[in-house]
Structure 1
Amino acid sequence: MTALSVSTKTASDLPVDTLVVGSVRTDDGAALAAGHGLPRKAVVHLQAVLADLEATGAPGEAHRVVAVPGVKATSVVVAGLGDGTARTTSFGADALRDAAGHALRSVRGKKTVAVALPTPDAESVAAVADGAFAGCYLYDKAAPLAGRRARKGGTAPGAGPKVTVVSGAGQGKAVREAVSRAGVVGAARDWARDLVNTPPNLLYPQSFADAVKKRASASSAKISVSVLDEKALAKGGFGGIVGVGQGSANPPRIVTMSWSPSGAKGSVALVGKGITFDSGGLNIKPSTGMVTMKSDMAGSAAVAATVLAAAELGLPVAVTGYLCLAENMPGGGAQRPSDVVVMRDGTSVEILDTDAEGRMVLGDGICLASEKKPDWIVDIATLTGAQVVALGEEVAGVMGNDEDFRARVVAAGAASGEDSWAMPLPAALRAKLDTPTADIAHKGDRDGGMLTAAIFLGEFVGEGIPWAHIDIAGPSFNTKAARGRVPKGGTGYGVGTLVGLVEQHAGR
């Protein structure tokens, strides 16, 4: 696993495999950004190389230069930060995260890396540390094969380099805590990425539950885990998740993860959609629509990782995560359009489209969470294609029953580098869910599909409990090339937002 540390030593004196510095985009091309701590001969050499390469200093640019005079590092990577001057010392957190992430991805096979980007304060140190850790991620595709194919050279997959963040803000308590936090949250986010990237024949409801138990037991914090199997779910009246899972040979589970510190400052609940593979059920998807459906459990992965991070950070808030796990398959026992099921709270629901299954498992999970009367509930899910149509692949939609709380969720996302946008829940859209055969239909028509899905979920929130729903259908899985700190495949989106919310509740 990647290891983070912080240093105030002169960057050029650090005996590492690679030193990362920044560049800015100017009218005359790329110029080295402030904060590098390099001697003049190193600066002159690097500027000459950058000019010869016609570097621009734009975000996403990284140039590796070997044998730089006056530098102990074997090589120097110059990462683009965007617009600025050679004297600019303050950059946005996203620019720092992305530059660090892109640079580290290019050298993650190295054993030791130092990052000397502009860090005038603890917040910028935190951003660099977060981006550097994120950029080191690599899913070990050989792991499912039990090591049949050995890798040659470099660092072992998943091991990651030792990364030193060169701090321009000293090594005070705030800086040390920022780097430590980045390591904890980064490791949790990488676990979420691993879960999302795992092939669906290996990650199904029971194996997901087993993975959570194993990870919780290995944690330094005390996290309790309980599992409701298909018999307990049927007995408990969880008709939504039972119905979704009944067409699969792999029966559903609800996993409850709890961090319950003594003297907790309140309690919060997180509910995650965990469809380990979504074929669409009898309303089967086209073949191209199934290609990324192993990622339909990204909401549960984010919730599991958040509970882990909250516990390992020792946050003084009771955090309970509900992982609603099922496989949506078109087996002989699969539910049909027009079926009516009864949810945990006694609400009858007419099924109109078996490919709108996520809201059914979440509805039961929200009911269960509401029974404990937490201070607030957040659910997170790869819920609707309408989210991608409305907001694209990098911005999540946030809805809820409390505008102030919804705004807090969006703000927590922005602070963590996870973009989201507040969306309304117009009361007039509730009529789209009316049906003569049940209390409610689980789906409306195409128009406003992201909003009607959230309106449906809101029906199951306990009275008086602030609630927000985060639709991450787009940003949870990156089908394109890696960018900045975001890898190809599972992104771990949501972990930063949810951890930030819990910290906010703890008064941090």
Structure 2
Amino acid sequence: MSPATAPHPTVPTAALTTKKLSAVEADAAVVGMVSTSDGAAVAVDDLPSDSVHALEAAAAALDFTGSASTTLRLPGVEGLEVDQVVLVGLGSTDDEDAPSTDVLRRAAGAAVRAVSKASTVLVVLPSEGAEQVRAVTEGALLGGYRFTAYKSGLAKGATRDSAGKGSKDDDGRTKGVREVLVHAGGRRDKATKSALEQGVVTAEAVALARDLVNTPPLDLHPGTLADRAEEAVRSLPVKASVLDEKQLARKGYGGILAVGQGSSRPPRLVTLSYSPSRAKAHVALVGKGITFDTGGISLKPPASMPGMKADMAGAAAVLATVVAAARLQLPVAVTGYLALAENMPGGGAQRPSDVITMYGGRTVEVLNTDAEGRLVMADAIVTATELSPRPDALVDVATLTGAQVVALGSRVSGVMGNDDALRSEVVANADVAGEEMWPMPLPEHLRPTMDSTVADIANISSKRDAGMLTAGVFLKEFVPTGGEDHLPWAHVDIAGPGFNEGGAFDHVHKGGTGAAVATLVRLLENRSA
């Protein structure tokens, strides 16, 4: 099985189906419904007429209006070889306006999440073009995501089966949706097949990032995350290299070392290089990888601790994106950096008022050890600027500030940078990928608030306001900006979107979300066009 089609264990597999819908055998079917003035109506033309009448009658009897991403589970109906049908709303539309790809992606995810006790699901949503097929595939697979590595199957009095595997199937996947059949109007042309594969690779990349974020910090520290990165690219045309603590010290990585020095599990810097011979562009990616963030000596309050296993979501996103680029064989060079450390309050931890020398020589006064992400990121960013040949663009992804959540909430990432065109490009690709991102400024007047009397810069501002922006301003200090040396750079703060602490919605589950992966994949695809 080729790397492009190798299944990921935490999402279902996907395939196109060209059979008549009445002949498709599945456990459940997902059917899209649109809101009309007369009630909810089936949104596709390929269903048997008996099925259409039965589904629309059931929707009317149960007051299902077809509002976007709402679902209604029904028993099987005449004309479909399934035990259950999940109706999913696509919102209001008219004959000229098909549902957007974002609506389709979200609806597919919500519907597959709503399926009960089914292994194979037939997804029947409007898929008239390649982009619609890709969106439906991404949404359906991510809706079927299940992270079960730590489930024994023995909860609530359950007993193990004869193989001793509790509620898990033979491959270790907890019972749930295992296969998605995407109905694309009977088409199997090259564009449709390619769209399905792109959707599969993107969804599996997002799932990889989710898996890493969901892994407990007991089992995911800088060393094991570096191992996971090497394992993830082993079968791909990607070169992986890892700097351990001794090599980091020898090369002068003061930021990464300072953050990790309070932990018994030392830091790492992972470099992933995908360099196809026909590359049309070169993009560098940097991801924050704090495998657990206690805040260090500037200790966080207890209520803030559990979610801090997600403080490596940026590094997970970068790893997953490099994997996706290689699997899709994109003609764009990608160099990814995972800046990995565990921020602990041990006896060797850095102290507020310490001055550290960063990679590249700048000095930083550490006034708050909980502003650690920018320290590891700055080291990796400087490393990226030294690449030869130099990248055409540099994008970093980080769960960097609680201020991002205050400013934009838990679902919208902030995008900053030294280049308006690149910042706009990131936001535009997020729109296509179905992720919410918003452009934010980096005001020059914030830089003096981080002046230090003993070092080149302090790691926090003397003001409490604009925390998301001052973190971005700090990082900007380490990127060549303006003049002939200008390197286009964008900074994506996913502090809220990287980890869903609320209930599941659309194709997003509770826990790790894989935020920014789909956006970065689209960015690379467009750079390689």
TM-score by length of 1: 0.95
Q: What is the CA distance between 1:161 and its match in structure 2?
A: 1.9
Partner residue, 1:335: 350
2:35 is aligned, of 22, 25, 42, to 25
Q: What is the CA distance between 1:34 and its match in structure 2?
A: 2.8
| Cα pair 1:348 1:438 within 8 Å, conserved | yes
Q: What is the CA distance between 1:25 and its match in structure 2?
A: 2.4
Partner residue, 1:121: 129
Distance 1:144 1:239, change over 3 A: farther
- Segments ≥4 residues shifted beyond 6 Å: 143-149
How far does the alpha carbon of each residue in 1:283-313 deviate from its partner, in whole angstroms, 9 at most, with x for none? 1000001120000000000000000000010
Partner residue, 1:150: 166
Partner residue, 1:234: 249
Partner residue, 1:213: 230
SS at match of 2:427: helix
How far does the alpha carbon of each residue in 1:217-268 deviate from its partner, in whole angstroms, 9 at most, with x for none? 2x3x222111101111111111011000001111100011111112322321
| Cα pair 2:414 2:492 within 8 Å, conserved | yes
Partner residue, 1:15: 25
Partner residue, 2:205: 188
SS at match of 2:203: helix
Partner residue, 2:114: 106
In structure 1, C-alpha distance between the alignment counterparts of 2:281 and 2:332, rounded to whole Å: 6
| Cα pair 2:44 2:124 within 8 Å, conserved | no
| Cα pair 2:498 2:513 within 8 Å, conserved | yes
2:471 is aligned, of 450, 453, 471, to 453
| Cα pair 2:121 2:180 within 8 Å, conserved | yes
In structure 1, C-alpha distance between the alignment counterparts of 2:97 and 2:83, rounded to whole Å: 26
| Cα pair 1:138 1:158 within 8 Å, conserved | no
2:79 is aligned, of 47, 51, 70, to 70
| Cα pair 1:119 1:169 within 8 Å, conserved | no
Q: What are the residue-to-residue correspondences of 1:402-421 with 2, within 5 Å?
A: 402-421=419-438
Partner residue, 2:526: 504
Single out whichever of 68-77 and 332-341 deviates more from structure 2.
68-77
Q: Does 1:440 find its partner at 2:450?
A: no
How far does the alpha carbon of each residue in 1:30-54 deviate from its partner, in whole angstroms, 9 at most, with x for none? 222234x222221221122212222
In structure 2, C-alpha distance between the alignment counterparts of 1:63 and 1:497, rounded to whole Å: 30
Q: What are the residue-to-residue correspondences of 1:294-373 with 2, within 5 Å?
A: 294-372=309-387, 373=390
Distance 1:108 1:461, change over 3 A: farther
Across the two proteins, how many residue pairs are aligned to each other? 503
SS at match of 1:275: strand
| Cα pair 1:23 1:79 within 8 Å, conserved | yes
SS at match of 1:349: strand
| Cα pair 1:142 1:149 within 8 Å, conserved | no
In structure 2, C-alpha distance between the alignment counterparts of 1:292 and 1:3, rounded to whole Å: 30
In structure 1, C-alpha distance between the alignment counterparts of 2:265 and 2:477, rounded to whole Å: 28
Partner residue, 2:440: 423
Q: What is the CA distance between 1:88 and its match in structure 2?
A: 6.5
Q: What is the CA distance between 1:108 and its match in structure 2?
A: 7.1
Which residues of structure 1 form unaligned runs of 5+?
none
Q: What are the residue-to-residue correspondences of 1:364-383 with 2, within 5 Å?
A: 364-372=379-387, 373-383=390-400
One-letter code aligned to 2:17? S
In structure 2, C-alpha distance between the alignment counterparts of 1:27 and 1:139, rounded to whole Å: 41
In structure 2, C-alpha distance between the alignment counterparts of 1:137 and 1:103, rounded to whole Å: 12
TM-score by length of 2: 0.91
| Cα pair 1:140 1:158 within 8 Å, conserved | no
Which residues of structure 2 form unaligned runs of 5+?
1-8, 155-159
Partner residue, 1:282: 297
Q: CA RMSD in A?
A: 2.0
Q: What are the residue-to-residue correspondences of 1:80-91 with 2, within 5 Å?
A: 80-84=89-93, 87=95, 90-91=98-99
In structure 1, C-alpha distance between the alignment counterparts of 2:72 and 2:23, rounded to whole Å: 20
Distance 1:356 1:145, change over 3 A: farther
State the percentage of identical aligned residues.
Answer: 51
Q: What is the CA distance between 1:183 and its match in structure 2?
A: 0.6
SS at match of 1:59: coil
In structure 1, C-alpha distance between the alignment counterparts of 2:334 and 2:114, rounded to whole Å: 36
In structure 1, C-alpha distance between the alignment counterparts of 2:499 and 2:465, rounded to whole Å: 24
Partner residue, 1:482: 504
Q: What is the CA distance between 1:211 and its match in structure 2?
A: 1.0
How far does the alpha carbon of each residue in 1:186-240 deviate from its partner, in whole angstroms, 9 at most, with x for none? 11110110000000101000010111112222x3x22211110111111111101
In structure 1, C-alpha distance between the alignment counterparts of 2:479 and 2:168, rounded to whole Å: 52
Q: What is the CA distance between 1:95 and its match in structure 2?
A: 0.9
SS at match of 1:292: helix
Q: What is the CA distance between 1:116 and its match in structure 2?
A: 1.0
In structure 2, C-alpha distance between the alignment counterparts of 1:152 and 1:167, rounded to whole Å: 31
| Cα pair 1:89 1:120 within 8 Å, conserved | no
SS at match of 2:233: helix
One-letter code aligned to 2:75? V
One-letter code aligned to 1:388? V
Q: What is the CA distance between 1:149 and its match in structure 2?
A: 6.2
